């Protein structure tokens, strides 16, 4: 792999994730291309969310979680002892499964992340820009001082996206961002992702195969190993190929709906 031309943002090498003594993900190698959408699909418990959370070290928040192997971000191993996870998370933002705006005003929701990261510029401008990028500005511009919790589920999730892009990260991780939303709100988020990918690298975990097929450029299929119940990367490639001519029989079984 060549990191210098900036084509690849992440390069995972021989990744193993443990919760206590249980191995949740084993021997995974994976590269994530810059300014593309990469989707992680697979049945529940296959470790796709766990892998996603290694990209911004959110696994650190679980006391028993442990990681071996390397997660290289532009060639820098994120799990080096001298890497500060707080700094990592500024560069690699995250959107969660359930919309989780802060119980503060819409404005404050967006501004807070910028402020704690030492933003010195024009805050009003940044908030507007971020909300515009998240396709939410027109809906909330008249009620910026109202609680973020007063918005609908889809709007809340877009507010969370605006909040995530306010510190201007390089990568946005999305952990099943639409699983709590209705189809129309889901579609809006998907459109938004296609817009955002012009400026950001996006990695999305989804249970929804159609969603992966619709929005992603690359797809990685994970599956739980039957013997030790550890998650395993089965196949990774251009989305079109994964969905039309998968190389692995297990991938084909999953995407054709024979199981999962």
Q: Name beta bridge partners: 32.
A: 10
Return the H-helix or E-strand segment holding 232. Answer: strand 231-238
Site for other proteins contains 145 (CB under 8 A): no
Q: How far is the CB of 255 from other proteins (least distance, A)?
A: 30
The interface region with other proteins, picked from 97-105, 134-142, 195-203, 218-226 by CB under 8 A, is 97-105
Examine residue 82 and tell whether it contacts other proteins (CB under 8 A). no
Q: Distance between CA atoms of 220 and 234, rounded to whole angstroms?
A: 8
Question: Is residue 16 at the binding interface for other proteins, with CB under 8 A as the rule?
Answer: no
- Which one of the spans 94-102, 195-203, 204-212, 232-240 is the region binding other proteins (CB under 8 A)? 94-102
How far apart (Å, rounded) are the C-alpha atoms in residues 19 and 50?
10
Complex with other proteins: residue 64 or 152, whichever CB lies closer = 64
Near other proteins by CB under 8 A, which window of 1-9, 32-40, 68-76, 83-91? 83-91
Least CB distance to other proteins at residue 180 (A): 11
Pairwise CA distance, residues 241 & 236, whole Å:
10
Binding flag, residue 164, other proteins (CB under 8 A)? yes
The nearer residue to other proteins, 56 or 186, going by C-beta atoms, is 56
Q: Per CB under 8 A, does 86 bind other proteins?
A: yes
**From the CA atom positions of the chain, what is the Rg in Å?**
18
Is residue 168 within the footprint of other proteins (CB under 8 A)? no
Q: Which residue has the tokens 């404005």?
A: 107
- 38: contact with other proteins by CB under 8 A: no
Indicate the burial class of 118 (C-beta count within 10 angstroms; 0-12, 13-18, 19 or more).
exposed
With residues binned 3-state (H G I as helix, E B as strand, rest as coil), the percentages for the chain, rounded to 5, are 35, 25, 35
* Helix 106-116 vs helix 153-165: crossing angle, to nearest 10: 20
Q: Footprint of other proteins on this chain (CB under 8 A)?
A: 56, 58, 61, 63-64, 86-87, 89-90, 93-94, 96, 98, 100-105, 112-113, 116-117, 147, 149, 160, 163-164, 167
């Amino acid at each position: 792999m060549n990191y210098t031309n900036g084509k690849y943002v992440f390069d995972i090498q021989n990744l193993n994730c443990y919760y206590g003594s249980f191995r949740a993900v084993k021997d995974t190698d994976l590269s994530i291309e810059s300014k593309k959408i990469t989707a992680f699909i697979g049945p529940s418990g296959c470790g796709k969310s766990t892998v996603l959370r290694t990209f911004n070290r959110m696994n650190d928040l679980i006391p028993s979680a442990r990681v071996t192997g390397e997660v290289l971000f532009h060639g820098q191993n994120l799990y080096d002892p001298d890497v500060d996870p707080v700094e990592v998370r500024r560069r690699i933002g995250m959107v969660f499964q359930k919309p989780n705006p802060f119980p503060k005003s819409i404005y404050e929701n967006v501004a807070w992340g910028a402020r704690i990261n030492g933003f010195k510029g024009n805050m009003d401008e940044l908030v507007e820009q971020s909300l515009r990028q998240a396709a939410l500005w027109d809906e909330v511009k008249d009620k910026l001082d109202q609680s973020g919790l007063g918005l609908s589920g889809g709007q809340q999730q877009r507010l969370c996206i605006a909040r995530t892009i306010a510190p201007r990260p390089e990568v946005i991780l999305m952990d099943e961002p639409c699983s709590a939303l209705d189809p129309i709100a889901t579609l809006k988020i998907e459109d938004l992702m296609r817009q955002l990918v012009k400026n950001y690298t996006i990695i999305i975990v989804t249970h929804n195969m159609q969603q992966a097929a619709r929005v992603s450029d690359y797809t990685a299929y994970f599956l739980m190993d039957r013997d030790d119940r550890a998650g395993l990367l089965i196949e990774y490639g251009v989305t079109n190929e994964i969905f039309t001519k998968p190389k692995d029989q297990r991938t084909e079984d999953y995407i054709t709906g024979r199981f999962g």
